[in-house]
Chains A and B, each alone.
Chain A
């Protein structure tokens, strides 16, 4: 009988433990839902908000440089030049981000850079983000841009692994081969990639709102 009572005690403890574990998981689950996509992926994430935000500040400088931002405009006309003016001829984004009618990106932008000043820079995949996911950089604060990039509903449905791989995308790399007369981003590609991965792997935190 004593043994029976003891057994019941163990069972009670076990039930309490399971309930508390379930509550913990539910709480964690709610927390995860607030931070979309990135924290669901069991990759190399070691959360460190301070290091993550410090890395993102470097990333932000690159993303807001003309070589990146010019093709992530707030409107439907790409930007152009180191002063990020509206693209001459006013080509429009189009539904797929590849332009419209006789004004498609690839009509002027060749698979590689055209030689000479004021000639079109080139890439086989030259385009803007599509109309249904514009991935705007222009005008975004560090806080807004960081949140946007880790949100699958706004980043082209990319998970953490795909975001990390995106640092080596051909069109991203072309920022460091901009053609004659255009400045490169403020960090080298390897410095950018290191900061990008550091930011994401340390939790993809957004800087505080200014």
Chain B
């Protein structure tokens, strides 16, 4: 039995401990905001937070997440009011939108650890999140806007 605390709610799952966390989130719990992209930790579409860190859920086994805290895009805020979500709307960042759950979850770690990131900081944090639509300029703009909306304060883990 695997115990996952996802978005502050605890689930007891009768799954193989080897099952990728992404499968458990999407197929067992039913939280489909997190996306499957490459399946080999190369694209970033599946990023969720494990105890506050932006892990790739497609290669993370449930065993590693057992009894740990997970936050998905659905739990980043309860009412879509996270500065990144507001900024993403304001800048109309997504095109197809497929990669943006992962983009936002990665950006959230950046802003928590560096509330006023430079362009280089954004490159260092976001280079592992691929967007085939090429929305990178808008992602950058939205992260800067979110930093302003947040008043330069990092969020708690």
Contact = CB atoms under 8 A, between A and B. Distances in A.
B127 A101 contact: no
Given A114-B41, A114-B59, A120-B59, A104 B128 contact: no
A173 interface: no
A137 B105 CA distance: 35
Nearest to B114: A101
A21 to B, nearest CB: 59
Contacts of B110: 101-102
A101 B40 contact: no
A91 B42 CA distance: 12
Interface residues of A, number: 20
B114 A103 contact: no
A103 B126 CA distance: 8
Q: How large is the interface on B (under 10, 10 to 19, 20 to 34, 35 or more residues)?
A: 20 to 34
A120 B41 contact: yes
Contacts of A90: 123-124, 127
Contact of B59 (A100, A103, A110): A110
Nearest to B18: A115
A108 B56 contact: yes
Contacts of B55: 106-108
Contacts of B107: 102
A116 B127 contact: no
Interface string A101-131: 1111011101100101011100000000000
Contacts of A114: 40-41, 59
B58 to A, nearest CB: 9
A91 B123 CA distance: 10
Interface in B49-63: 53-56, 59-61
Max chain A Cβ within 10 angstroms of own Cβ: one of B56, B110, B128: B128
B122 to A, nearest CB: 9
Interface in A20-72: none
Interface string A122-153: 00000000000000000000000000000000
B40 A102 contact: no
Given A101-B113, A102-B54, A108-B41, A89 B127 contact: yes
Interface of B: 40-42, 47, 53-56, 59-61, 64, 105-107, 109-110, 113-114, 121, 123-129
